Copies of this chain bind each other. A is one copy, B any other.
């Protein structure tokens, strides 16, 4: 799929990519053209992918990528159709190539393509407040409301019957039908991802987007960061209260309810019908099952199976929490 938000500067010859990564070209056909960089699951022939942890062995087995940035000890899990490129730091090398393909995904300067909505086609089709700014190639469905001072940056797609509050900023996002995004939200900025480096950290590119499925409500002053390689997703009919922070790559299932000031760290995956009490926090890279209830104030630091109710810091079985705190 063509990424509508970040321009792909490829294709690049594999010889150029090897040079960028400072890798020797042992028996590789240097004329092969590489069209894109993608994750193990979604990459195709003539694309490059990355594989940095045993955890993803099952995906590595089946990847269709022609090349894979990986470690020496992981290369045996790749199919024969995929040539391993051995590096010292897989994520860093991946970041460097991603930036090569998508240089505009590193920085989030303000969108200077925006115009006042009165100067666009949307002035007749949309209900809008004062000082609304709309970027190039934005698409807005019928019967939408956009409040005062809100900014919809370039290429954003908004469905029908959506209501965007005032002082909202949306970029790099796909908003489905019947979504409400309340005042002061910031949706779609790059995530908090970088390689710590003395005196000058190295940001890594974020080519993922934010997808908010239909019938969602996002409370005031919430922030939802876009994904790095995959997307950040809020499932259908999920409601978020105020001051919530959803980090990059998080996926939240449908019909979930998340109370105020909750934070979900990067890359965690939540099932459907999850209920989270106020101020709870969920660490990164966790899997939270379907129908899970997490008590207010909890700190979740490990996976939670389906149909569980937990509370505490660290979060544990709800009855155990009550018993210990009688």
> With an 8 A cutoff between CB atoms, is A109 at the interface?
yes
What CA separation (Å) do A22 and B199 show in the bound complex?
A: 51
> With an 8 A cutoff between CB atoms, is A241 at the interface?
yes
In the complex, residue of chain B having the shortest beta-carbon distance to the beta carbon of A325: B314
Contact mask for chain A residues 249-289; partner B; CB cutoff 8 A; 1 contact, 0 none = 00000110101110101000000000001110101000000
> How far in angstroms is the closest Cβ of chain B from A169?
5
What CA separation (Å) do A219 and B301 show in the bound complex?
A: 23
What CA separation (Å) do A166 and B1 show in the bound complex?
A: 30
Contact mask for chain A residues 216-252; partner B; CB cutoff 8 A; 1 contact, 0 none = 0101110101000000000011010111010100000
> How far in angstroms is the closest Cβ of chain B from A269?
17
Q: Would A201 and B189 count as touching, CB distance under 8 A? A: no
In the complex, residue of chain B having the shortest beta-carbon distance to the beta carbon of A225: B242
- Residue of A129, A219, A263, A265 ringed by the most chain B CB atoms within 10 A: A263
Q: Would A265 and B278 count as touching, CB distance under 8 A? A: yes
Pick the contact of A145: B109, B192, B201, B220 (CB < 8 A). Answer: B109
Tell me the number of copies of this protein.
Answer: 3
> With an 8 A cutoff between CB atoms, is A56 at the interface?
no
Given the contacts A109-B145, A215-B201, A296 and B265 also touching, CB distance less than 8 Å:
yes
What CA separation (Å) do A174 and B219 show in the bound complex?
A: 22
What CA separation (Å) do A130 and B149 show in the bound complex?
A: 10
Q: Would A255 and B186 count as touching, CB distance under 8 A? A: no
- Residue of A111, A146, A314 ringed by the most chain B CB atoms within 10 A: A314
A-B contacts, 27 of them at CB < 8 A, read A110-B129, A116-B130, A130-B131, A133-B148, A169-B184, A182-B186, A183-B186, A186-B220, A189-B220, A192-B219, A194-B239, A196-B255, A198-B255, A199-B215, A199-B237, A199-B255, A200-B215, A219-B223, A220-B223, A223-B260, A241-B245, A245-B278, A261-B261, A263-B278, A278-B281, A312-B313, A314-B325
> What is the interface of chain A, defined by CB distance below 8 A to chain B?
107-112, 114, 116, 127, 129-131, 133, 145-149, 151, 163, 165-167, 169, 182-184, 186, 189, 192, 194, 196, 198-201, 215, 217, 219-221, 223, 225, 236-237, 239, 241-243, 245, 247, 254-255, 257, 259-261, 263, 265, 277-279, 281, 283, 296-297, 299, 301, 312-314, 316, 325
Known: A192-B242, A263-B279, A279-B279. 6 other contacts (CB 8 A): A110-B166, A167-B184, A169-B183, A169-B184, A199-B255, A261-B261
